[in-house]
């Protein structure tokens, strides 16, 4: 829908707003859930979700309109298979799918490990844990907003290059500080900056992935969403298999994800070959 309605830096601005919402959603969800548990038993969470889902369906049916102008509908003349073929033959798009998925893999490693790390290892209550998520959500806000402003001056592929290097550094600091026995603050500080780095990547990935595929925007967006959550689902259980008795497994899996993202960025996307956004 954003790709239908906007282009150039207006599209960048709208994608940054979307990225802010998408990035905050998995961070704020535990905050809301922990507060709901103060007033209801755990089955009530599913009643809340069903009610929320009903409101979303109503909003989609009555408030969301078709965004593609009538004169542009059906112009491509391509089948679904042909659209997929176009996208998967685009080296830059495929590389961005990998980068986005691995970025989400690192973020969801944190989401899956943090309840056990902060409640079982560091002794947080459910409400304290929810407050921690609220504080970390500010990192997403800071990253997305800063990135969306930087894109006006710095091409998004170079922001991705800087952000992936930053994420790898923060993940390694989590491991190092944990091994040196720095305790809670030795985990929380680099973790906050790690989460901020993920926010830097969200708008850049969306802009680069969809900018060159106006006629396949819906298919490209669906692939991007599916790839990110599929990768996150495959990667996040790894930290559980390693055991969560310290912050080291979480930091190590995050570092491995970002190292692979760096490889995908430089070997598949190749920033120097990415066209500029007009």
230: enclosing H helix or E strand: helix 217-235
- What backbone torsions phi and psi does residue 274 show, to the nearest 5 degrees? -75, 125
Angle at 39 between CA 34 and CA 45, to 5 degrees: 60
Q: Which residues of the chain have pLDDT under 70?
A: 8-9, 23, 26-27, 71-77, 214, 277-278
Predicted pLDDT of residue 60: 92
Tens digits of residue pLDDT in 217-259: 788 888 988 988 898 889 988 988 888 999 999 999 999 999 9
Contacts of residue 253, defined as CB under 8 A and 6 or more positions apart, other chains included, come to 106, 109, 113, 235, 238, 239, 242
Lookup: tokens for 188: 């929380």
**Helix, strand, coil distribution of the chain in percent, nearest 5:** 80, 0, 20
139: enclosing H helix or E strand: helix 126-150
Contacts of residue 182, defined as CB under 8 A and 6 or more positions apart, other chains included, come to none
Pairwise CA distance, residues 119 & 187, whole Å: 14
Predicted pLDDT of residue 74: 63
Pairwise CA distance, residues 194 & 155, whole Å: 21
Predicted pLDDT of residue 260: 97
Lookup: tokens for 113: 């490990």
Predicted pLDDT of residue 35: 83
pTM equals 0.83
Predicted pLDDT of residue 171: 98
Angle at 241 between CA 236 and CA 246, to 5 degrees: 90
The answer to whether the beta carbons of residues 211 and 159 sit under 8 Å apart is no
Predicted pLDDT of residue 149: 83
Predicted pLDDT of residue 27: 67
Predicted pLDDT of residue 5: 80
Predicted pLDDT of residue 77: 65
Predicted pLDDT of residue 137: 81
Predicted pLDDT of residue 31: 76
Task: Report all structural domains of the chain as residue ranges with CATH numbers, in order of start.
Answer: 2-273 (1.20.1250.20)
């Amino acid at each position: 829908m954003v790709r239908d309605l906007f282009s150039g830096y207006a599209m960048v601005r709208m994608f940054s707003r979307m990225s802010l919402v998408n990035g905050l959603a998995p961070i704020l969800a535990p905050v809301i859930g922990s507060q709901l548990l103060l007033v209801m038993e755990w089955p009530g969470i599913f009643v809340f979700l069903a009610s929320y889902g009903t409101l979303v369906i109503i909003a989609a049916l009555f408030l969301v309109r078709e965004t593609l102008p009538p004169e542009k509908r059906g112009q491509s003349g391509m089948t679904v298979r042909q659209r997929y073929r176009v996208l998967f033959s685009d080296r830059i798009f495929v590389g961005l799918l990998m980068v986005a998925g691995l970025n989400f893999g690192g973020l969801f490693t944190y989401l899956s490990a943090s309840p056990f790390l902060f409640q079982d290892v560091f002794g947080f209550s459910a409400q304290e844990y929810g407050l921690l998520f609220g504080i970390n959500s500010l990192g997403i806000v800071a990253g997305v907003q800063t990135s969306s402003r930087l894109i006006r001056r710095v091409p998004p592929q170079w922001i991705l290059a800087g952000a992936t290097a930053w994420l790898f550094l923060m993940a390694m600091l989590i491991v190092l500080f944990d091994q040196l026995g720095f305790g809670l603050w030795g985990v929380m500080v680099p973790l906050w900056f790690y989460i901020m780095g993920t926010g830097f990547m969200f708008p850049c990935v969306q802009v680069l992935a969809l900018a060159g595929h106006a006629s396949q925007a819906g298919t490209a967006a669906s692939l991007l969403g599916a790839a990110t959550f599929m990768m996150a689902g495959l990667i996040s259980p790894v930290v559980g298999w390693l055991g969560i008795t310290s912050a080291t497994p979480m930091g190590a899996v995050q570092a491995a994800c970002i190292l692979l993202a760096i490889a995908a960025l430089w070997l598949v996307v190749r920033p120097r070959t990415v066209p500029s956004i007009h």
